[in-house]
Structure formats: C-alpha cells, structure tokens
Chains A and B, each alone.
Chain A
Amino acid sequence: MTLQILLAISAVLFALGLAAVLSRSNAIMILIGIELMLGAANLNFISFWRFSDHPSDLTGLLFVIFSIAVAAAEAAVGLAIIILVYRNLRTVEADDANQLKG
C-alpha cells in the first residue's frame, strides 16, 4: 500500500462531495456534500501523518480533531438555519431562498 492509493481514495471522496454540492438543490443534501468533503480532507491529514517520517509529531492528528469539532459546530448551525428557512419559506430548496435578490 502506498500513499497514492489513500490520496486517490480521498480525491474520489472529495469529488463525490463536490458533485453533491453542485448538482443537488436540497439544502440538506448540500450540507451532506460538505460533510463528505470535510471527511476527505481529514482522510488526507491522517494519510500524510501515517506516511510522515516523524509520526511522533502529532500535528496531523490534532488538526483532524479540531476539524471534526469545527465540522460539528458547522453542522449544528447549518441545520438550524435550514430549519429556520423552512419555517419561514416552507421549502428547503437552496434556490428558493432568494428574497435578497435585487
């Protein structure tokens, strides 16, 4: 097993997340895509840590821990916003929340 395979897996995961963000119009699906992209980034950090010459330097791991915490906060706030949009507009389509459009 080489670093290539892990990086390729993470690239495919990132592309899947990007496809979800670009092609789905439901706001929850966009959030799901963002979570997948964050997971791909985390996988990259872990792979580089695993293949580094100094594994006792834990920066790669700590970055993932912080990233997971930030992702949790992001999911909570994002979903609260989606619920609020739904309550006011009765829709969760990202395109329909366009009242600020001039």
Chain B
Amino acid sequence: MMHAALESFCADPVKFLAPWFVLLPAFVLLLSAAAAVVMRNLIHAALCLTLSFIALGVVFIALGAEFVGLVQLLVYVGAVAMVIVFAILLTRPEQLEKSRSVFSGIGPAGGAAIAFGLLATLLGFIFASPLAKKPLPAPAVAPVANIGEALMGNHVVALIVIGVLLTAALVGAAVIAMEDQP
C-alpha cells in the first residue's frame, strides 16, 4: 500500500499531488472559517475571515475557475474584508458581546447544535447520493474570452441588473451612513 503510493508519486508527482492543490487550501479554508466563528476578538475574527476568503479563492483557482477565483480575491479581500474591518473600527462596542443570540434563549450551545444537526443531515445526504460519487472529469478550462462573451451575450440582462443593483447599493450605503445634515 505504502509502496504503491510511493511508486505512483515517483512516476508523475504533479499528477499524484493534484488533489492536494485543492484539498490543502480547502483545509486552510475550513480551519480559518472555524477560527473566524469562535474568536472573541472581532478584529481577529475579521482577519481569519480574510484568510478564509483568500483560501476560497485559491480553491476556485485550483478547481480550474481561474477568472472567478481572481474576482473572489479582488472583491472579497480588497473590498468586503476591508469594509468589515472599517465597520468594526467605527463601532467600538463599549460592552463585551452578550452570550445570548437573536433568537433569545437559544444561546451559543443551541446555535451550534442546530448547525451541527444541519451538517449531519447534509453530510448524510451527500454521502448517500450516487451523483456525488462521480469521478473527476478531465480538467476544464474557462477562457476569459468565453466568459466575456457569455456575460455580454446570453446573460447581458443579468449583467445590467447587477450594475443597477450595485449603483443603488452604493448610493444607498452612502445615504444611510451619511451624517445627518444640520
């Protein structure tokens, strides 16, 4: 068993290691996401969240979705993470976080239990499904030119709607956060 693995490694290490290019960043992703959820210090949570965004982008790139992975890095690391950090700094909470949640009475243990129940259900279905046992097909490539043509062709309405939505969100966020005029 060990010997066979060593042999296939020596034959073509790049092919042997290929799954780990996905699994390793995925491991970092889960670890940093878990850290972001349990950290008491908000800034540490936000930094762990940033790391998980980066790891998610790397997973996308390793899966062959180069363009989407880079967009993920540009938008999430460059913008969303920084906006979250700014919000944390602008709202220095005077008291520590309370231990009860929105659904008064659930508490952290209850929330974690619900999430764990959902996870168990999902994992049960995933591992029972025959669809999910599909082997890995040949590496897929998505050239940027094709993505651009699809965005400007079949999906142009969605693109325009997203543009309108982003403009509205930008104006709305500025209006909401603006100081009241005296």
Contacts and interface: CB of A to CB of B under 8 A. Distances in A.
Taking the complex as a whole, does A directly touch B, i.e. does some CB pair lie under 8 Å apart? yes
Contacts of B135: 2
A24 B97 contact: yes
A93 B95 CA distance: 10
B166 A22 contact: no
B98 A36 contact: no
Contacts of A62: 147, 150-151, 155, 158
Contacts of A9: 26, 29-30
A21 B29 CA distance: 18
Contact of A35 (B80, B114, B142): B80
A29 B93 CA distance: 13
Nearest to B107: A23
Contact of B97 (A18, A20, A25, A31): A25
B6 interface: no
B44 to A, nearest CB: 12
B133 to A, nearest CB: 6
Contact of B37 (A31, A33, A91): A33
Contact of B65 (A21, A26, A46): A46
A5 to B, nearest CB: 7
A58 B97 contact: no
Given A2-B135, A22-B111, A70-B162, A83 B177 contact: yes
A80 to B, nearest CB: 4
Nearest to A23: B111
Nearest to B35: A16
A11 B56 contact: no
A15 to B, nearest CB: 4
Contact of B114 (A8, A18, A65): A18
Contact of A95 (B93, B102, B112, B134): B102
21 contacts: A1-B22, A4-B126, A7-B126, A9-B26, A12-B30, A17-B33, A24-B101, A28-B84, A31-B84, A42-B56, A49-B140, A56-B140, A58-B146, A61-B142, A68-B71, A79-B87, A82-B91, A83-B176, A91-B94, A91-B95, A95-B102
Interface of B: 18-19, 22-23, 26, 29-30, 33-34, 36-37, 42, 45-46, 49, 52-53, 56, 59-60, 63-65, 67-68, 71-72, 75-76, 79-80, 83-84, 86-88, 90-91, 93-95, 97-104, 106-112, 114-116, 118-119, 122-123, 126-127, 131-137, 140-142, 146-147, 150-151, 155, 158, 162, 165-166, 168-170, 172-174, 176-177
Interface of A: 1-9, 11-26, 28-33, 35-36, 39, 42-43, 46-47, 49-53, 55-56, 58, 61-62, 64-66, 68-77, 79-84, 86, 90-95
